[in-house]
Amino acid sequence: MALSVGEGAAGGGGGGGSRLRRQLESGSYAAEEYVKQLSQQSDGDRDLQEHRQRIQALSEETAQSLKRNVYQNYRQFIETAREISYLESEMYQLSHILTEQKGIMEAVTQALLQQASAADRDDPALGGARRAAADPHTNPFLALSAKDNAASDEGRQRTLTTLLEKVEGCRDLLPESPGKYLVYNGDLVEYDADHMVQVQRVHAFLMNDCLLVAAWLPNRRGAYRYDALYPLDGLAVVNVKDNPPMKDMFKLLMFPESRIFQAENAKIKKEWLEVLEETKRNRVLSEKRRLEQEAPVRAPPPSPPEATNPFEEEDEEEATPEEEVVDLSLEWIQELPEDLDVCIAQRDFEGAVDLLDKLNEYLGDKPVTQPVRELRTKVDERVRQLTDVLVFELSPDRSLRGGPRATRRAVSQLIRLGQSTKACELFLRNREAAVHTAIRQLRIEGATLLYIHKLCHVFFTSLLETAREFETDFAGNSGCYSAFVVWARSAMRMFVDAFSKQVFDSKESLSTAAECVKVAKEHCKQLSEIGLDLTFIIHTLLVKDIKGALQSYKDIIMEATKHRNSEEMWRRMNLMTPEALGKLREEMKSCGVTNFDQYTGDDCWVNLSYTVVAFTKQTMTFLEEALKLYFPELHMVLLESLVEIILVAIQHVDYSLRCEQDPEKKAFIRQNASFLHEIVLPVVEKRFEEGVGKPAKQLQDLRNTSKPPLYVYEQ
């Protein structure tokens, strides 16, 4: 269709463009053959470039033509939809006018019958002849329609009796009366009004004064069980717009409840709506005629004495004020329900809410009359449809791309509709699903620290964006902020689950775990930009895993120390090369032992045992990594772990001093004990106090109590 627009392509001339278009439009066109032929006929790269430009120009021209046609068709579609809605409204008005005319004709007929009955009372002979002539059994020449009407009344009465015999439990609730007859009946499916799920199959019996709903009995074909009985006086019928797969539905309103039923098809639904409205109208007319017939029988009230009070007329007017009439004949009000349907169908949510605000502003100071109630009923149904669409826009089933800003449109309109709580709940649920999806889509890398960097970036960036968008959307709803804090805690728990599974469950080293926790804390501090501090939450959620990691690493150090102690020969270390000695000096300096040179000898010898040197490096490494993980809840765990590790070394030295008999080895053991007591323990105390911020009394007591046993053999 679009290729036929225009006669020439830009850059290729009118004739060349037309030939090219015809060639591309031909049914025998084959792309491979066309390119092959073009390559053979071209003199060089320049010809191919020119041909490519002609094809590109033709493609752009075709695209522009398609856009114009699509836009034109779209506008025609919108205009057609609006015309159809106008036509539907006019058809409904015409149907109501015809129904009113029918009611008037029935009222006139009833009035004529009343006049005839009054004439019969005045002239009994004439009345008897008229009744005999009207009897279908005694008068064979009676008109066929009259016989049919009489037979129809008897048939409807018999049909009602037959059908009600199939309904269990309604005989006592629905006593037989001469004027009661069946108007309409049929099968329906009931749906839950809140969740729109199927509840049960029912059979409805519409009588001239009430509606009986009976449930199907699954084990008995054609039998029903009484469910509910509704008088027509307090029953309202509302049409439910089709919203696939929910279609062919209508709602029955019975204060304070409502029920939704689905018909078999659109035709049956229309019949139910029409016959319910008509039966209700006939019921009102018959009740009005009955009251008019009873009115002459009643004695007229005594006429009040002639009033002499000049203010009596004003008092009477004040006692019975006339109801103020609300002008609902404005064109925009008449078209409001249809305009709302169009806005919802076109996803123009702002336009729909603007119309509702305009209506509320117009009716704000107006009295609530019956026409206003009817209009409100129609509008409330559209408000519910609009709310359902906005809720669906925020559901996690929708695309989660676009970030938090993608939800702003639906959230803002829900807030304008007075649904702030629901908007807050749906917004946070949507963001929770988005964060969960982002975390789940992260690829687990080989290096744990690299994965944790990505995890923290994705999670805390999403949390920060969500917080800023929440602050923008719910700026005027301070009551929703507590819900955000609760949601943030829940999201943090989801993050910690993924974090712990990768860091602690995989048994990473304490140094790796410390680096990962440090990264998480640094990202958590970003939230302080918006006044949200979740550091205490991440501490609370991680404390169990960190305790387990510290205790596990403590057990590893103690087992390694005990293993080295079991093989201890109490010999000096020979590092063999100056490079190795220099490296050990640097390691001890990084551990905080600055005066290590006094324990080094000539020719790369160290006047300490390998066990004591290894213990010192391992203990200081444990302390440094543990301080990276430190927060107040871990104070006692860290302190007790340090005391247990140091006690293993002190007890081993003490035992060796007691058991060793060689004087030279005993002197060497005392030298190692002096290193532990005077160098290592003070460094541990100092570093612990720097990292924690307060001294550790347990470490001081350990150093004081360990001194006597270490030097008891110096004498």
C-alpha distance from residue 476 to each of 120, 473, 488 (Å): 76, 8, 20
- Better pLDDT: 184 or 131: 184
Stated as kind and residue range, the H or E segment containing 188 is strand 182-191
* pLDDT tens digits, one per residue of 230-269: 888 778 888 888 877 788 899 888 766 788 999 999 899 9
Under the banding of pLDDT at 50, 70 and 90, the label for residue 294 is low
State residue 268's pLDDT score. Answer: 92
Record the pTM.
0.49
What is the pLDDT of the chain when averaged over all its residues? 78
What is the mean pLDDT of the segment spanning 415-425?
A: 86
Residues whose CB falls within 8 Å of the CB of residue 193, separated by 6 or more in sequence, listed in order = 251, 258, 259, 260
* pLDDT tens digits, one per residue of 353-362: 998 988 888 8
- Token readout for 593 is 């032992």
- How many other C-beta atoms can be found within 10 angstroms of the C-beta atom of residue 461? 14
User: Which of 54-58, 145-149, 192-196, 315-319 is modeled with the greatest confidence?
Assistant: 54-58
| Of the listed ranges 147-156, 225-234, 497-506, 656-665, the one predicted with least confidence | 147-156
Does 482 have pLDDT greater than 90? no
Looking only at the bridges linking them, the beta strands covering 573-574 and 198-207 are unpaired
State residue 313's pLDDT score. Answer: 44
- Token readout for 103 is 């009611």
Under the banding of pLDDT at 50, 70 and 90, the label for residue 712 is very low
Cα Rg of the chain, angstroms: 46
Domain ranges for the chain, please list them: 50-105, 165-292, 331-542, 551-706
User: Which of 135-139, 517-521, 694-698 is modeled with the greatest confidence?
Assistant: 517-521
Residues facing 168 on adjacent strands: 225
* pLDDT tens digits, one per residue of 16-61: 566 777 777 777 778 888 888 777 777 777 778 888 888 888 888 8
- Cβ burial 485-514 (10 Å sphere, 16+ → b, else e): eebbeebbeebbebbbebbbeeebebebbb
CATH of 165-292, one of 1.10.3720.10, 1.10.340.30, 3.40.50.2300, 2.30.29.30: 2.30.29.30
Task: Answer whether 344's CB lies under 8 Å from 385's CB.
Answer: yes
